[in-house]
Amino acid sequence: MPGRPYVLLSVAMSVDGHIDDAGPEPLLLSDAADLDRVDAERAGVDAILVGATTLRRDDPRLNVRSEERRAARVAAGRPASPVKVAITGSGDLDPAARFFTTGPGAKLVYAASPGVAAARRSVGAAAEVVDAGDPLDLPRVLADLAGRGVARLMVEGGTAMHTLFLTAGVVDEIQLVIAPFFVGDEQAPRFVRPGRFPHGTSRRMRLAEARPMGDLVLLRYLLGAADA
């Protein structure tokens, strides 16, 4: 698709494909070294995107944590942390979430048309709310981000966003970290939902890297047209 950002999807999951458990607290799937690796990836992108469910479940900050990396971005004429982006269908968002209250950078909320009014009432003072169509039009969202200067976008969750981006065929790279344990709970969220994925058995992704990291493994797959 022309005129869209390079899309990097970053995810950690258990051996049985879960990105969280069903408990009230987020499941720790990464170690300190991997979290630092993810922070370095964040420092290299223009925007980080999550879905509304991730905001509600995990309450992420989505800022670059390393002071040195923030300083390097500023020295290069960029904001200290990437633009923060959320996607919502209903517009039901908590203005006290750390996504909205931490970091001075720009915050964007793309809402499906029926949820725009609710999103503007709840978080309009903290973020720019953009009408993303009905149903939500992902190419429209990506084109709008490109128009704002976002050349590299990092998608960090959750299940609905992974499925949306992957089934739409707009992901260029997956960085998949496998944690060496099982969750084993059918109520726990998985990496993706069932769907029609462009990269099936007849169109395999290209493995660009396989790296052990302690007892974790990083698998980096390329999905772009040049690597299909």
What pLDDT, on a 0 to 100 scale, did the predictor assign at position 162? Answer: 98
> Which residue in 83, 137, 91 sits closest to 115, CA to CA?
91
| Residue 225, pLDDT score | 53
pLDDT of residue 198: 96
Amino acid at 44: G
- Pairing between strand 152-155 and 6-14? parallel
pLDDT by residue, tens only, the chain of 228 residues: 458 999 999 999 999 999 999 998 889 999 999 999 999 999 999 999 999 999 999 999 999 999 999 999 999 999 999 999 999 999 999 999 999 999 989 999 999 999 999 999 999 999 999 999 999 999 999 999 999 999 999 999 999 999 999 999 999 999 999 999 999 999 999 999 999 999 999 999 999 999 999 999 999 999 975 443
What is the reported pTM?
Answer: 0.95
Sheet strands (E) in 113-169 = 128-131, 152-155
The separation between the first and the last C-alpha atoms of the chain, rounded to the nearest angstrom, is 14
**Distances 110 to 6, 116, 117 between C-alpha atoms, Å:** 18, 8, 12
